[in-house]
Amino acid sequence: MEVSTNQDYGSKTMTKVKQRKDTLLARLKQNKIAYFSLWFLIILHLIVFLGPFFWTINPEELQEVGSLAGWSLQHPFGTDDLSRDVFARMLHGGRVTLLVGLAAMLFALLIGTLVGACAGYFGKFVESVLMRITEAMMAIPNFFFVLVALTVLGTSPVMVVVVIALCGWMEIARVVYGETLKWKEYEFVEAANASGARSIRILTKYIIPQIIPSIIVSGTLTIAAAILTESAISYLGLGIQPPTPTWGNMLQNSQQYIWTAPVLGILPGAAITIVVLAYNFLGDGLRDALDPKYVKK
C-alpha cells in the first residue's frame, strides 16, 4: 500500500499532524527490523524498569554463594567479582544506563530545539551566531572536553548527563534549524505572523509541533549515541561511579576479569550493543518513514 502524504500538508490545518503520525506508524510497520526494534525496546524497558520490583535482590548486597559463582536458580547470571547478583545488577544497571540515555537525550533535545528553532525562525544575527556556535561545537573533538570536564568536575550522574547532552545537541539543532526554515514559509505560519501573534507563540504553537516527527527521529538516534558515550566515559573511569551499577561501569569493571570471568564483560557489552542497535534501527526506520521520497519497496 502506497501511503503518500508528501504534498502540501503545510497549507492545511494542523489536524494533518495527527494524520502524519498515524501514517508514520503504518510506514514503520513495513520496515520489519525497525518495527521489531520498537517492540524489543518497549519490552526491554518494561523488564528493566519493572523487573527490580519482582527480582528483589539488592544489586549492592554481597551474596552468600561467594564471588564469581556460576549459574544457579537463585542467581541466574551468577555473581560478580564482589559476590553480588549479576542479574540484579544488570536490571538496576540497565535502569541507570537507560535513564542517563533518556535524560541526556531530553536535555540535548531541549538545547538543540531551542538553538535550531531560534536560529531558523529569527534569522539574521541570531541565526549566524547560533549556527556558527553549532558548527564550531561540531568541529571540535568534544570528547577531549568531556574528559577534562569530567576529570575536574567529578562524575555525579547529573554531570554525566549534562556533559553528554552538551556534546550531542548539535545534530538536533541543525535538523530543527532546517525544518524551521521550511515551515516558517508556510501560509498558516505567515497568517499567524500577520495576525500579530508573538514569536514565542508562533514557534511553540505553530512551528515546533510540525517538527516533532523529525525531533523524534533525532531523539531516538541521540539516545543511542548517549548510551554509547556513557559507556565510553565509564571505560575511562569517568562515568557514574560504583556502587551505583550502570552497564558502562559494569563493563569497565569486568575488564580486569577478562581472563578469569569473561562473561562479566560479555553481558553488559552485549546489552549495550543490542539496545543501541535497536535504537539506531528504530531511528533509521523512523527517518525513512518520514522521508517524502519514501517509496514502498
Q: By CB under 8 A, name the binding residues for another protein.
A: 33, 60-62, 66-67, 81-83, 132, 135-136, 138-145, 147-149, 151-155, 171, 174-175, 221-222, 224-225, 228, 231-232, 235-238, 241-243, 251, 255-260, 262, 265, 269, 272-273, 276-277, 280-281, 283-284, 297
Query: Which residue has 532546517 as its cell numbers?
Result: 178
CB 199 within 8 A of CB 121: yes
Q: Nearest approach, Cβ of 162 to another protein (angstroms)?
A: 13
- CB of 196 vs another protein, minimal distance in Å: 33
Closer by beta carbon to another protein, 209 or else 243: 243
Task: Give the nearest distance from C-beta 46 to another protein in angstroms.
Answer: 21
Nearer to another protein, 11 or 72 (CB): 72
CB-based contact 78:69 (threshold 8 Å): yes
> Which run of H or of E encompasses 250?
helix 247-254
Nearer to another protein, 103 or 264 (CB): 264
Nearest distance from C-beta of residue 30 to another protein, angstroms: 13
**Phi, psi of 79, rounded to the nearest 5 degrees:** -120, 160
Return the number of the residue (13 or 260) whose C-beta is nearest another protein.
260
User: Residue 30: how many CB atoms within 10 A of its CB?
Assistant: 16
Least CB distance to another protein at residue 54 (A): 22
Beta bridge partners of 85: 79
Which burial class, exposed, middle or buried, applies to 2 when counting CB atoms under 10 A from its CB (0-12, 13-18, 19+)? Answer: exposed
In the bound state with another protein, the residue whose beta carbon lies nearer, of 189 and 286, is 286
Q: How far apart are CA 257 and CA 261, in angstroms?
A: 5
